């Protein structure tokens, strides 16, 4: 049992938190009410500036080159993907190519390739999330979670209980049988 845990969400300007990210001493929280960030480990919080109103954030992700790029992506339930280029202070929409704005999961494959799961398939971006293309074999599947493994394999957990697998950095997908 951890006895050193202390509540640190005092002043958090969100109704609830669905995603929490810690990067370079900064906390970024997403949830009902948008996105907030804390530069001091959660002692104080500031509401992020949004280009448009956002109701629900479900996932946050950063690339391996975050120290140079300062990019953070957010999956939202109604607004598609949001992007910040300044460590989470300001956010704007990056939905070019997204046919479905109900985004549920995010994962970076490598320095510039990122995947987003939606309620109707998986989209791939090869330019740090600036634009998106539907991936082969994923359309019609409701994605609950995504991960990228060190061997280059990507996995998608489906809301129906199954798994999709990609051996080519998320470009094409196959349903795993008998799992």
pLDDT digits (tens, 9 = 90+) for 61-118: 999 999 999 999 999 999 999 999 999 999 999 999 999 999 999 999 988 899 999 9
> Please, is 157 exposed, middle or buried when counting C-beta atoms within 10 Å of its C-beta (0-12, 13-18, 19+)?
middle
> Rg of the Cα trace of the chain?
16
Structure tokens at 119: 């309620």
Task: Give yes or no for residue 134 having a pLDDT over 90.
Answer: yes
Q: Which of 67, 56, 63 is nearest to 33 (CA)?
A: 56
Look at residue 137 and give its three-state secondary structure: coil
57 has which bridge partners?
76
C-alpha atoms less than 13 angstroms from C-alpha of 20 in its C-beta half-sphere:
12
Mean pLDDT of the 21-35 span: 94
Which pLDDT belongs to residue 36?
96
List C-alpha distances in Å: 98 to 40, 73, 118, 131, 158: 35, 14, 9, 8, 19
The answer to whether residues 113 and 106 touch, using CB atoms and an 8 Å cutoff, is no
Question: What's the pTM?
Answer: 0.90
Task: Give yes or no for residue 122 having a pLDDT over 90.
Answer: yes
Q: What is the 3-state secondary structure (H, E, C) of 130-146?
A: CCCEECECCCCCCEEEE
Q: What is the tens place of the pLDDT at every residue in 41-64?
A: 899 999 999 998 888 999 999 999
């Amino acid at each position: 049992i951890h006895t050193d845990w202390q509540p640190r969400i005092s002043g958090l300007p969100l109704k609830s938190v669905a995603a929490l990210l810690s990067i370079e001493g900064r906390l970024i929280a997403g949830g009902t009410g948008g996105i907030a960030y804390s530069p001091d480990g959660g002692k104080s919080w500031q509401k992020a500036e949004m280009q448009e109103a956002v109701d629900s954030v479900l996932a946050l992700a950063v690339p391996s080159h975050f120290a140079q790029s300062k990019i953070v992506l957010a999956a939202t339930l109604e607004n598609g993907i949001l992007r910040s280029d300044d460590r989470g202070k300001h956010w704007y929409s990056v939905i070019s190519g997204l046919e479905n704005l109900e985004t549920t999961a995010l994962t970076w494959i490598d320095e510039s390739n990122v995947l987003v799961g939606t309620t109707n398939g998986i989209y791939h971006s090869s330019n740090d999330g600036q634009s998106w293309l539907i991936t082969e074999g994923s359309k019609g599947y409701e994605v609950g979670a995504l991960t990228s493994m060190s061997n280059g394999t990507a996995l998608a957990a489906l809301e129906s209980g199954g798994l999709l697998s990609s051996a080519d950095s998320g470009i094409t997908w196959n349903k795993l049988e008998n799992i």
